[in-house]
Amino acid sequence: MRVQNVTQFAADNNIFSSLGIDWKALVLQIIAFLILVFILGKWVYPWLMKSVDERQAGIEAAAKATAEAEKAAEANKEAVAALLAEARKEANEIIGTAKLESANMISSSEQKAQKAAERIAKDAHEQLEKDVENARKMLYNDTLELVGLATEKIIEKKLDKKTDSELITAVVKTTGVVK
**pLDDT, tens digit only, all 179 positions of the chain:** 554 554 555 555 667 778 888 888 889 999 999 999 999 999 989 998 999 999 999 999 999 999 999 989 888 888 888 999 999 999 999 999 999 999 999 999 999 999 999 999 999 999 999 999 999 888 888 887 777 777 766 665 566 777 777 777 777 777 665 55
Query: Structure pTM?
Result: 0.38
Distances (CA, A) of 123 to 2, 128, 179: 156, 8, 25
The CA-based dihedral angle spanning residues 128, 130, 132, 134, taken in that order and rounded to the nearest 10 degrees: -150
